[in-house]
Every structure is written in structure tokens, then in C-alpha cells.
Amino acid sequence: MPSAISVSGLTKVYRTYHKEPCFLGGLRGLYRRRFEETRAADSVTFEIEEGELVGFLGPNGAGKTTVLKMLSGLLHPTSGEANILGFRPWERKDAFRRQFSLVMGQKNQLWWDLPALESLNLNRAIYGLDPVRSKRVLDELVDWLGVKDKLHVMVRELSLGERMKFEIAAALLHEPKILFLDEPTIGLDVVSHKKVRDFLGAYAKEKRVTTILTSHYMRDIEELCRRVLIIDHGKLFYDGELSGITDRFASHKTIGLRWSGTPVLPADLTPYGEVLERDEVTLRLRVPRAELTALIPRLLTDLRPDDITIEEVPVEEVIRRVFTDQAGK
């Protein structure tokens, strides 16, 4: 069975004209222009199976939105191929456009001067949906998202969280098989953030919607995605399990030691690792993963703690370091 999304060598290159300063510089530009090429996406290749919910990570400007726009058919690639449910996205066939949705946290598709319900009905009419079926779908969505009592409120008068919930409802009204989510929870308060995140996870699982999610909130990725793609400077450099990021990129672990009373410790603790935190009864050390097995017996013998814990570095911190390293390269 073919993958729901198949991408091979997808590349997008932008040419930017550099205008020289002053009048003479502009005049010279009429005869000899200097261009700079920026590879927003550079030979991106991956496949996603039906029903998968995949996280798409990268710093600002890494190329995430560019890739999603090409997969949505909004941009034509410079080179490469993409196949989504048997369609080339940039051909923009009606049959394809009826099977996907793109939700961008910083873009609106609802009409601000209409009540939410009328704006949703307008979307229904645009897609030519059956009124009876679309009403049943909408009732289910607004119940699920908890905004049924806001249907008759003007979109401009909704809170950011309420507006985003209706944006998601509008995107799902035609029951797409493919869903692209570009920062859907950006700027939301804690309660709305959790509500939207829980809904997206439950909806994707129940409806088996193939989903690509970009987010700068690692909690979203950790709770919703088993698999992640990591991109930077247009290049995809990791495709695998979220849990594998720590194994591949985290070179250290954290050891926590606790004593029931005040311990007598050596003045120099550097032979045991980098001291991250220390008080009268606790000590936290940063230790290379490769040295952990040999170090634990020494800690137990030399420092005699009453309790010891070994922790992985949080995924968010690992990814932050990965981005920093990539930027340095």
C-alpha cells in the first residue's frame, strides 16, 4: 500500500536581488544585477503512512512552512517530487484540494465581520458540502472543541483560543484525509492550549487523519507525536522516533544524589561530573553517557548517598542544543 505522503528531493530556491545603495548603485543594477540564492528547502525526502501524526521541528527560518506550502500546492518547488494520496500538490486539482487542510496559527480563514456559524456555513458552500452531513460534522466538532455556545458570536469578538478552535473546525468541516498544522497553538493561553492539543490527538487517532504538526512547544510534540522530522537551513537531518533524539544527540545524563543528613563531601567534585546544583542534602551532576556505568559504583562508594536518580536530558533541551550546533556548522 503506497504511503499517504511521499516526498523525494523536494527543493525550493529563492533568488533575492541585492540593490546597491544610492542612485548610481540603482543605475548599475539596470545593467548588471547581483542575485543571492537561498535554499528554503534542500532535497527534502520522507514518507508518511496513513494515519501517522508526525512532528516537524526546526528553528525559525528552517524551512518548515515552505515545505508545508509546497505540500499544500501553494508553492511550486524548484525541483523534486511529492505525491499525496496519488496527487502532485502543485497541480491543485479539485479532487486533491478536497482531501487536505492547512491550518496556520498566524493566518485566518474565517470572516471577521460574520458570526462564527455564518463563516463556517460559507466554507461549507465553498466546498459544496451536503448541508445535512456538514451540520452533523460541525455539531460534533464544536462539541468536541467546547465552543458550541460561541457559534453566534462575531469572529472579531472571539478570544484567540476560541477563534483558533473555530479555525480548526473550519479546516475539518470537509473531513480531510491529510492535515497540515503550522503552529496551531501559538499564543494560546494554558487552558485553550491543552484543549486544542487534546482535541488534535483524539481527532487524528479516531479519524485516522494523516497529520504533520509544526510547533515550538515541545509539550505538543511529546504528547502527540511518536515520530519527528527535524529540519534546519532547508535540510532534513533527522527522521525517526522522538525517543531516539535523546539517544542520538544527548551526550550526557543527569545524576541526582540525596542524603538524609548533611553529608561530608570532597571539596572538589569535578572527578564525578559537572556540578549543576548543590545544597545541604542534594547534589545534581551532569555526566557523560559513556562514563555512567563506571561512575555509579564510585559514587555509591565514595559519596554514600541515601538515594540516587538517573535522568535523561529533557527532549526540549536536546533539540535546542541540536539547533545551536547546526547553526554553528
Secondary structure of residue 119 in the 3-state scheme: helix
Q: How far is the C-alpha of 275 from the C-alpha of 256, rounded, in Å?
A: 10
Q: Any idea which fold 50-79+88-246 has?
A: Rossmann fold (3.40.50)
Amino acid at 204: A
Confidence at residue 28, expressed as pLDDT on a 0 to 100 scale: 65
The cell for 240 is 525517526
Output phi, psi for 9, to 5 deg. 60, 30
6 burial class (0-12, 13-18, 19+ CB within 10 angstroms)?
A: middle
Instruction: Give the Cα separation of 290 and 302 in Å (integer).
Output: 20
Instruction: Provide the CATH number for the domain formed by 251-312 in this structure.
Output: 3.30.70.260
Task: Concatenate the DSSP letters of all residues of 166-204 into one string.
Answer: HHHHHHHTT--SEEEEESTTTT--HHHHHHHHHHHHHHH
Residue 105: its pLDDT value, please? 76
Q: Count other C-beta atoms under 10 Å from residue 240's C-beta.
A: 14
Backbone region of residue 175 per phi and psi (left: phi > 0; alpha: psi in -120 to 50; beta: other values): left
Query: Residue ranges of the domains in the chain?
Result: 50-79+88-246, 251-312
Burial class (CB in 10 A: 0-12, 13-18, 19+), 116: buried
**Digitized pLDDT (tens) for each residue of the chain, 329 residues in all:** 678 999 999 999 987 766 667 666 666 666 677 777 888 899 999 999 999 999 998 888 888 999 999 999 999 999 999 999 999 999 999 899 889 999 887 778 888 888 999 989 988 888 888 889 989 999 999 999 889 999 999 989 988 888 889 999 999 999 999 999 988 888 788 888 888 899 999 999 999 999 999 988 888 888 899 999 998 888 998 899 887 887 777 778 899 999 998 888 888 898 899 999 998 899 999 898 888 889 999 999 999 999 999 887 777 677 777 776 665 55
pLDDT for 5 equals: 95
Give dist(CA 173, CA 123) in Å, integer: 8
Coil, helix or strand at residue 313:
coil
pTM, 2 dp: 0.79
Contact 44, 231 (CB under 8 A): yes
Give the three-state DSSP class for 231.
Answer: strand
Does 251-312 match 50-79+88-246 at the fold level?
no
Alpha helices in 128-273 (DSSP H): 131-145, 160-172, 190-207, 218-224, 243-249
- Write down the pLDDT at residue 327: 57
CA dist 266 and 206 (Å) reads 57
CA angle 47, 50, 53 (to 5 degrees): 80
Helix, strand and coil in the chain, % to nearest 5 = 40, 30, 30
- Antiparallel, parallel or unpaired: β 79-84 and 5-18: antiparallel
- Rounded to whole angstroms, how far apart are CA atoms 36 and 15? 6
Burial (0-12, 13-18, 19+ Cβ within 10 Å), 13? middle
pLDDT the model gives residue 11: 94
Q: Is 106 exposed, middle or buried (0-12, 13-18, 19+ CB in 10 A)?
A: exposed
* C-alpha distances out from residue 12 to 4, 149, 188, 252, Å: 22, 44, 31, 36
- Hey, what's the torsion of the CAs at 39, 45, 49, 53, to 10 degrees? -40
